[in-house]
Copies of this chain bind each other. A is one copy, B any other.
Amino acid sequence: MTATSDAEHALRGASLRVTRPRVAVLAAVHEHPHADTDAIIRAVRSGTGGVSTQAVYDVLRALTSAGLVRRIEPAGSVARYEARVGDNHHHVVCRSCGAIADVDCAVGAAPCMAASDDHGFSIDETEVTHWGVCPDCTTAHSP
């Protein structure tokens, strides 16, 4: 199973047409977790064949609404995408360099943390973001 055939399978499973841009973008997101649009564009273009910027934006939106990728928007960051979906995992973000790492949910099921008072909202997802400083930045700033 190559990354490409995985991507083709996933696209068909979501009733999305299998096109070169879609396969390339989905594979790139798999290979570069939490990458932003620009990084994905560069990854796709470093592979075979050119893809227009517009196509990447369009594809990312299609993949996101199909549930094949997840879009996250940490405060102060542009949109980032990942292929780990449906497992209710969370993130830890470096305040210094923006690095993002996955954090498994301590509870497991979504929503992982019931609100003490939901104010009548019907909650379907709970997003947890831990903020701190990554090991690299900690080392760099305390010599």
Contacts and interface: CB of A to CB of B under 8 A. Distances in A.
Interface string A55-84: 000000000000000011101100000000
A116 B104 contact: yes
A132 B128 contact: no
A75 B76 contact: no
A127 interface: yes
A91 to B, nearest CB: 9
A131 B101 CA distance: 21
A127 B128 contact: yes
Contacts of A90: 115
A86 interface: no
A1 to B, nearest CB: 28
Given A75-B72, A126-B128, A121 B106 contact: no
Contact of A121 (B72, B115, B132): B132
A75 B71 CA distance: 9
A114 B107 CA distance: 11
Contact of A76 (B73, B120, B123): B73
A105 interface: yes
A122 B116 contact: no
A103 interface: yes
Contacts of A75: 71-73, 127
A130 B135 contact: no
A124 interface: yes
